C-alpha cells in the first residue's frame, strides 16, 4: 500500500529535526539572552573570566543544590556527577560526602557565605561550585514521552565570591510520536511507555549535561 503524502512529509520533517540535534554548539553565555534557543537546539552557554587564568583554582568545593525542594536522589546524582567531572579538571575536589561530613563536624552550612568562607579557610579550599537545577521534566502522554534536565553552574572564589566560570545547558530525550496508522498505535504507545519507565535515562542525561558543561572548563591539574 502506498503511503499518503502527509506521512512521508512527517517522516522527512522528523528526520530534519533529529539531524539538527546531533551537533552540540558551544556559545557565549550572553548569547542565550540575546537569541534564545529552539526546542531542538543543543547549546551549551558558558563564560570564562580572565581571573580564572590569573590564579587557577587548585581546589573546589561542590555545594548542595541552590534550589529548594529538589528530590534527594536527583540532587545526589547531580552532585556526584559534578564532582567526578571537576576532578578531571581541577587538582582537588571536595565532593558531597566529604562536604557533608565536614559540615556536620564543624556545624556549618556552606550555602551561607560566612560558613563557606570558614570552611574554605579550614580546608584550604579557596573556590566553590554552586549549581541550580533549571529544568526537570518527565512527561508521558500515552503515545509520546519526554525527559528533560537542565543545569546552571558557577565556579567562584570563596574570599570575595568572584565568578571564575559559569555555564548552562539543557538536554532532553523523547520517544514515541504520531502513529501513522491504527496498527502502529500500540507500537508507538509501547515505545513511549518503555522510555518513560526506563530508570537509566535520567542518570545518563545528567552525565551528558555535566560532561558538556565541563568541556568548557580548562584543565588546570
Q: Which long-range contacts (CB under 8 A, 24 or more apart) does 148-154 make?
A: 148/172, 148/173, 149/202, 149/205, 149/206, 149/209, 150/209, 151/78, 151/209, 151/210, 151/213, 153/82, 153/129, 153/213, 154/129, 154/130
For residue 173, give its domain range: 25-32+42-214
In a domain, 10, yes or no: no
Q: For residue range 117-126, what is the model confidence (pLDDT) as tens digits?
A: 999 999 999 9
Q: How many domains does the chain have?
A: 1
In a domain, 220, yes or no: no
Strand partners, 171: 149
What average pLDDT score do residues 153-182 get?
Answer: 85
Q: Is the pLDDT of residue 173 over 60?
A: yes
In a domain, 61, yes or no: yes
Q: For residue range 133-143, what is the model confidence (pLDDT) as tens digits?
A: 998 887 776 66
pLDDT at 16: 44
pLDDT at 146: 78
Of 109-113, 138-142, 170-174, 201-205, which gets the smallest average pLDDT?
A: 138-142
Model-level pTM greater than 0.75? yes
Residues 97, 91 contacting (CB under 8 angstroms): no
Instruction: Give DSSP secondary structure letters for 29-96.
Output: THHHHHH---TT--EEEEEE-HHHHHS--SEEEEPPPSSSS--HHHHHHHHHHHHHHHTTTSSEEE-H
In a domain, 12, yes or no: no
In a domain, 157, yes or no: yes
pLDDT at 40: 53
Q: Give backbone dihedrals phi and psi of 21, rounded to 5 degrees, phi first.
A: -90, -5
In a domain, 18, yes or no: no
Residue 167, SS3?
strand
pLDDT at 9: 43
In a domain, 84, yes or no: yes
Distance CA 206, CA 77 (A): 8
The label of the residue with cell 567531572 reads 85
In a domain, 205, yes or no: yes
Question: Where does the pLDDT of residue 10 fall: very low under 50, low under 70, confident under 90, or very high at 90 and above?
Answer: very low
CATH number for the domain harbouring residue 135 = 3.40.50.10610
Distance CA 128, CA 4 (A): 57
pLDDT at 60: 97
Q: For residue range 14-48, what is the model confidence (pLDDT) as tens digits?
A: 444 544 456 788 898 887 555 555 555 689 999 99
Residues 134, 152 contacting (CB under 8 angstroms): yes
Cell of 158: 570563596
Q: For residue range 71-115, what is the model confidence (pLDDT) as tens digits?
A: 899 999 999 999 999 999 999 999 999 999 999 999 999 999 999
Mean pLDDT of the chain: 82
Q: Provide the residue count of the chain.
A: 221
Strand partners, 154: 130, 166
Three-state helix/strand/coil letters over 135-153 = EEEEEECCCEEEEEEEEEE
Amino acid at each position: 500500500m502506498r503511503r499518503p503524502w502527509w506521512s512521508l512529509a512527517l517522516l522527512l520533517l522528523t528526520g530534519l529535526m533529529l539531524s539538527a540535534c546531533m551537533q552540540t554548539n558551544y556559545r557565549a553565555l550572553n548569547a542565550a539572552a540575546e537569541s534564545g534557543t529552539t526546542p531542538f537546539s543543543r547549546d551549551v552557554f558558558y563564560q570564562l573570566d580572565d581571573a580564572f587564568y590569573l590564579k587557577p583554582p587548585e581546589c573546589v568545593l561542590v555545594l548542595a543544590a541552590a534550589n529548594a525542594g529538589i528530590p534527594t536522589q536527583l540532587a545526589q546524582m547531580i552532585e556526584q556527577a559534578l564532582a567526578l567531572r571537576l576532578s578531571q579538571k581541577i587538582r582537588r575536589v571536595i565532593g558531597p560526602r566529604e562536604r557533608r561530613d565536614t559540615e556536620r563536624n564543624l556545624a556549618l552550612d556552606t550555602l551561607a557565605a560566612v560558613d563557606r568562607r570558614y570552611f574554605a579557610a579550614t580546608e584550604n579550599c579557596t573556590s566553590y561550585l554552586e549549581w541550580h537545577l533549571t529544568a526537570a521534566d518527565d512527561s508521558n502522554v500515552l503515545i509520546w514521552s519526554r525527559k528533560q534536565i537542565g543545569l546552571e553552574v558557577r565556579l567562584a572564589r570563596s574570599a570575595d565570591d568572584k565568578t571564575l566560570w559559569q555555564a548552562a545547558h539543557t538536554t532532553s530525550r523523547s520517544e514515541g510520536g504520531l502513529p501513522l496508522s491504527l496498527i502502529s498505535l500500540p507500537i508507538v504507545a509501547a515505545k513511549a511507555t518503555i522510555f518513560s519507565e526506563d530508570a537509566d535515562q535520567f542518570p545518563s542525561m545528567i552525565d551528558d549535561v555535566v560532561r558538556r558543561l565541563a568541556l568548557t572548563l580548562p584543565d588546570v591539574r
